[in-house]
Amino acid sequence: MFKVLFSPLELGSGLSLPNRIVSTGHDTVMAHHGHVTDRLIAYHEARAKGGVGLIIAQVAGVHHTARYTSHMLMADDDSCIAGYRALADRVHAYGTKIFGQLFHPGREIMETDDGTAPVAYAPSAVPNSRFHVMPVPLSQAMIDEIIAGYASSARRLQEAGLDGCEIVASHGYLPAQFLNPHVNRRDDCYGGSLENRMRFLSEVAAAIRAEVGQNFVVGLRISGDERDAEAIAAQEVLDVCKALDAEGRLDYFHVIAGNSASLSGAIHIVPPMFYETAYVAPFAALVKAIVTKPVIVTGRINQPQIAETVLANGQADLCGMTRALIADPDMPNKAKAGKADDIRACIACNQACIGHFHKGYPISCIQFPETGRETTLAARKTPARSRQKLFVAGGGPAGMKAAAVLAERGHDVTLFESAPQLGGQALLAQLLPGRAEFGGIVTNLTREMEIAGVTIKRNTRLDRETVESERPDVVIVATGALPRRPAFEGIEDAHTVTAWQVLKGEANVGGRVVIAEWKPDWIGMGVAEKLAREGRHVRLCVDGLMAGQTLPFYVRDEMVGRLHKLGVEIIPYARLFGADENTVYFQHATSGEAMMMEEVDTLVLSQGHERVSDLVDALEGYGVPVHVIGDALSPRSAEEAVLDGLKLATLDVFG
């Protein structure tokens, strides 16, 4: 099925990759004090074991001024070598090759280790709009020092046994800042003409090659389209690639999109599901047409068939499939074995991967929480010593994950779902504009249960009578939640519906709508977009700092932009207070003063959820062990529901 994808490829002077699948550089938040850890090694080992051809480890700082987060790797002294060597040895054991990224953020610094404002360095004193950092212009002495840092860091990776390195000139980081005339205002030999602006990058490549010789792969990562109003022109990016290729120091080019400096550009660092798959491939094809070295393309390539199409069309030579490998580390082996239907496809929700990173937590996946927990929860998925008869009530994400893992461990598991379809609230999430891909979580978890041998009973509600008659050893309750309808003054007078009713088509919604949202997440924003696209005037009133406050940044920022284009009014700090026939009353969350939304036809409630616990109450005192997970325990998101299922299924009581 995937003839090109699983063909070997040679990079540099004789390095042979077993296939064209790449786990590209991405921060895992698993480094400690700048060094590789056992947790990070186990994370990459899982992907090597799963059959990936090339792993490019996350960015490593080349200079003490390169610490853009408090949890990044550093390669600026020899203390890094031992950790990298251990990582390389574990990855090489499976035939996978491994590179390391060499990095300096310039002005793109997110945080410091003590919470104070950073001192950042850049070509010129031009601030960014995302982190609001005012950089210090680099002196010639510091430029020389940083270039030397790139070279010495590459030498350390080589000494540690890695197969190559990648210069990160993408996403508006330091080399890209030199290239960009909007950011580089220098009047010396590093500024002005394109030849001058690419001098820094050329000198970096030359210094690295002089340090490591010809038998170590050196590549370049660059943004083809920075998606920013003050971006380097796309044609200049092509000119840079062509010129660097002619210099002969690079072994490959890695094309991606986006820019860290702005909210609009940063979305494309890890594009959410609103963007079509492989949308960067057309620009990669332009690069491939003008360079002599192989090209990697990255950007929403989440399935092997998509990668195969990109490669077969000649748009690139390798495909970065990082989130696909986060969602399913075994994706390459499954694809190669002809088991494409068994692959757990990434749905680009961004919740536990980049969403965790932005919160400073180790990355994972909402569908596969074993990711990032290879040394803990994943290690506990061992065969059970004795087979138990287990009933799971509820076929949402929590129940499905628990059932799949328990059956995988060898238990006799029956899942009861009262509805015709599995999926719970995920079935509603997929109905929102641009969110259809979220339904993939249902497809993927259903397939996990089928592979594991779970007995699935749809249209069947588990009750005490069934438990008493069939006598399972354990009952797991994952019956989910229902929309919360809080009591407030005037609820009988206003035309009030819930977000669920809107999504299910059960509500007659008027032309002027107010959405009252308690938790600023995807529900209120998604319903607002749906109703605005249907031609209604929409005001989204949020009991929080901003719409989408709890969402991953790139999802939130993309959705805010979509709502702005549709003319949706967003009112923050708005706590629902009351309503009448045509007015909804809010209380400002901090001042306490009244906020009135007049001329309202319909009030849509997105006021959180209340757990469904009827079965828990019914089984009280019966004597069978009962475990409660997911929203039936406490209404949260799909991430916590699936994690609840995994945590429960790996308990010693089921061992």
Kindly list the domain boundaries of the chain, sorted by start residue.
Answer: 9-359, 382-483+611-654, 496-607
Asked if residue 113 has pLDDT above 90, the reply is no
CB neighbour list of residue 48: distance below 8 Å, 6 or more residues apart = 55, 90, 91, 93, 94, 95, 96
Spatial CA neighbour of 556 closest among 230, 263, 277, 327:
263
Q: Mean pLDDT across the stretch 332-345?
A: 97
Q: In angstroms, rounded to a whole number, what is the distance separating the alpha carbons of residues 539 and 541?
A: 6
Asked if residue 132 has pLDDT above 90, the reply is yes
| DSSP secondary structure letters along 155-218 | HHHHHTT-SEEEEEE-BT-HHHHHH-TTT----STTSSSHHHHTHHHHHHHHHHHHHH-SSSEE
Which pair of tokens denotes residue 387?
């087979």
Asked if residue 619 has pLDDT above 90, the reply is yes
Mark whether 252 is an active-site residue: no
Q: What is the pLDDT of residue 546?
A: 98
Q: What is the pLDDT of residue 145?
A: 98
Summarize pLDDT for 290-331 with one digit per residue, the tens: 999 999 999 999 999 999 999 999 999 999 999 999 999 999
Asked if residue 284 has pLDDT above 90, the reply is yes
Q: At 242, is the pLDDT very low, low, confident or very high (cuts 50, 70, 90)?
A: very high
Equal fold, 9-359 vs 496-607: no
CB neighbour list of residue 207: distance below 8 Å, 6 or more residues apart = 147, 148, 150, 151
Q: What is the pLDDT of residue 47?
A: 98
Q: In angstroms, rounded to a whole number, what is the distance separating the alpha carbons of residues 279 and 199?
A: 30
Summarize pLDDT for 426-469 with one digit per residue, the tens: 999 999 999 999 999 999 999 999 999 999 999 999 999 999 99
Rg (CA), the chain: 26
* Class in CATH terms, 9-359: alpha beta
| Residue of 68, 121, 150, 173 marked catalytic | 173
Q: In angstroms, rounded to a whole number, what is the distance separating the alpha carbons of residues 18 and 21?
A: 9
Q: At 216, is the pLDDT very low, low, confident or very high (cuts 50, 70, 90)?
A: very high
Q: At 348, is the pLDDT very low, low, confident or very high (cuts 50, 70, 90)?
A: very high
Q: Checking DSSP bridges between strand 318-320 and strand 21-23, what pairing results, if any?
A: parallel
Summary mean pLDDT of the chain? 97
Asked if residue 39 has pLDDT above 90, the reply is yes
Q: In angstroms, rounded to a whole number, what is the distance separating the alpha carbons of residues 569 and 218?
A: 49
Asked if residue 629 has pLDDT above 90, the reply is yes
Neighbours of 89 (CB within 10 A): 14
- CATH 3.50.50.60 for domain 496-607, yes or no, is yes
Q: At 286, is the pLDDT very low, low, confident or very high (cuts 50, 70, 90)?
A: very high
Summarize pLDDT for 349-386 with one digit per residue, the tens: 999 999 999 999 999 999 999 999 999 999 999 999 99
Q: What is the pLDDT of residue 112?
A: 87
Which pair of tokens denotes residue 504?
């299910």
What angle is formed at CA 23 by the lines to CA 18 and CA 28, rounded to 5 degrees?
A: 145
Q: Is the separation of the CB atoms in 123 and 185 below 8 Å?
A: yes
Q: Mean pLDDT across the stretch 504-523?
A: 97
DSSP 8-state symbol, 253: E
Q: What is the pLDDT of residue 580?
A: 95
CATH topology for 382-483+611-654 is Rossmann fold (3.40.50)
The CA-atom distances, in angstroms, between 624 and each of 385, 389, 399, 468, 489 are 20, 12, 18, 9, 43
Summarize pLDDT for 8-38 with one digit per residue, the tens: 999 999 999 999 999 999 999 999 999 999 9
